[in-house]
Structure 1
């Protein structure tokens, strides 16, 4: 009998880990800590460190119950790496997007998709995009964009725990080679795993770890879907945030690739800072309670839109 009860307890514990119904500061910190390890060397495309990060993301997707498409979790592509003016071109780097999904429950709406994305790569040892005078120094990229990758893993896990509420399907994408020119998102939109016209909203998280004392969360693209500006303002305020909501202002991260294809987008971030694209963008500056609030905001956005039958369509903001 004791062994039987023990087995039940172990089973219950496994289920709670499988789809945890809570975003925690501890897990956000743990994800960012791994992503910014010295051995991961700034998560530069084509490196062993980059592949190590990909394995980490896949393992987390699996443990949360995020499904793979028929082609698997990896969407490989070749990335052309940026070089400084006058320098010779580098060989193409083999990297990938990491993709999973939760299928919706409505017989018709499950064929519509909301995409949640964040790029997992960074600058490696610097290069032409660095803002630092330091040469060959690891650019850890805690906010840019270990914070967004950690949010992607935490939100996907919480949505998996609420999968029975979803009418629409939700796709999760950790993009590769964003810092090289939005290459991962461009590749996905040119080689989509579902029809692009069935993607009704794409939410991108790029630098969401530095919520300030005024609790300001910024976003562009809220006017690209019906009622988006008021919806994002009201929801943010209800969660104790101070949302800076822009109808247009689509910005310069991976959501741009989707917007150019006529897909509604939200580009989410918590603002710039002096450590941007320098080796000093480290875990110590991350506001963990703040990132948890941002995760809840984005989780609620997806849950409300994916569990509703309201029509979602693209509104051009150019």
Structure 2
């Protein structure tokens, strides 16, 4: 009898250990794999993207998610590359002239009538191409650690936590959870667009969507941008009541340059999380060793709390928001800077400059805050873009910046 009891204890201990290993936080490990040179930048339709999708499938299985693609965990889509930049991409059957990408979709079925979609794109730029901001002659791998291995890693961590929570709870959550790693985002939100037109659950059952894109570079001031706060009446109150760690920059619009837009356009409330632009954006230097993993854990905690808080609120009401992208001025020149999109002071703060650009040649530096350009005062990002829109190539303009409480007046030539 003692031998039998001892055997059961050993089996129990082994099971607990196995479950603990499965439910371990693997954010750093996930980023390390997805942003490795071996994946060659995860460009849609390449072997690197296939390797990334297989890794995500294995992580879904390890966590215990159910498949919810059209073929197991995968939802493939094929398209012809755009020849006219003003036309939409045409989805088509796979032929010699098409590119095929794969969304990777996992599911927690709580028997609920509504489903929460938690997503992040896993594709990137491969060796660069048109989207790259790298100006060297040599072709280098663009690993995209922040853009967007960071979002996928937090998505997987949320899957781990929600699966663990629902496995332990006697009462299941009042939403199902769908986890989506999108491909084709860098080519124009293609994977999320395809899913919105070909959903693997009833589109009307989607309660809301959470998107994470570039969430790996939380700065020392803990500034976190949350977009889409106006797409449901409960969002603003919920993100504030659960916030203890962050300086929040809120934006109401449900439209932006990431995958949440595809869901907003089918009347789904959306929240998009973003830690800001940086000098390594769309360059080979966006590597895993530059991420703030402690910050990523804080963001995972925060989003988990938001999801848990919203769970007993039933189906969320959807609200349309003003499309700010339609109001953005068009301009023919640029300063050649990386703007700090999370800056909430007066002016436009520079988060980085690129060599051999108007800003660099004028002596502008990271941290400078542009307060005047030409005859226009610059109070925020929109006023900066309006001021920039009046200039043509070859024009020279006065520019004023604040640097460490000192105003510097100089000239910039476009």
Do the structures match in fold with TM over 0.5?
yes
Q: Which of 196, 212, 227 is equivalent to 1:205?
A: 212
Does 2:54 align with 1:49?
no
Which of 126, 129, 141 in structure 2 is aligned with 1:127? 129
**Structure holding more helix per residue:** 1
Separation of aligned partners in 1, 2:314 and 2:10: 46
In terms of fraction of residues, the more strand-rich structure is: 2
Alignment of 1:125-274 (within 5 A): 125-134=127-136, 135-163=138-166, 164=169, 165-236=172-243, 238=244, 240-248=245-253, 250-274=255-279
2 CA distance for matches of 1:70 and 1:259? 21
Q: CA deviation at 1:3?
A: 4.8
Give the conservation status (yes or no) of the 8 Å contact 2:110–2:176.
yes
Aligned-residue offset at 1:309 = 3.6
Q: Deviations over 1:123-160 (max 9, x none)?
A: 00000000111342100100000000111111111110
SS in 2 for 1:171: strand
Unaligned runs of 5+ in 1: none
Aligned partner of 2:109 in structure 1 is: 103
Number of residue pairs aligned between Structure 1 and Structure 2 = 302
1:290 correspondence with 2:295: yes
Higher relative contact order (CA 8 A, sep 6+): 1
| Alignment partner, residue 304 of structure 1 | 309
Whether 1:11 and 2:15 are equivalent positions in the alignment is: yes
What is aligned with 1:116?
118
Query: Considering only CA atoms, is the larger Rg found in Structure 1 or Structure 2?
Result: 2
Q: Residues 67-95 of structure 1, C-alpha deviation per residue, up to 9 Å, x if partnerless?
A: 1137310001114446898xxxx942222
2:103/2:180 contact within 8 Å kept: yes
Question: Aligned equivalents of 2:69 and 2:234: distance in 1?
Answer: 35
Do the aligned partners of residues 156 and 83 (structure 1) sit closer, same or farther apart at CA in structure 2, a change above 3 Å counting?
Answer: farther
TM-score by length of 1: 0.90
Q: Distance in 1 between matches of 2:55 and 2:119?
A: 16
- 1:242 is displaced (CA, Å) by 1.5
What does the per-residue CA deviation read over 1:44-103, in whole Å, with 9 as the maximum and x for residues that have no partner? 111222111111101111111111137310001114446898xxxx94222210001112
Q: State the alpha-carbon separation in 2 of the partners of residues 269 and 122 from structure 1.
A: 17
Uncovered stretches (5+) of structure 2, i.e. residues with no partner: 86-95, 323-414
Instruction: Let me know the Cα RMSD of the aligned residues.
Output: 1.9
Q: CA deviation at 1:251?
A: 1.5
Does the 8 Å CA contact 1:250/1:267 hold for their aligned counterparts? no
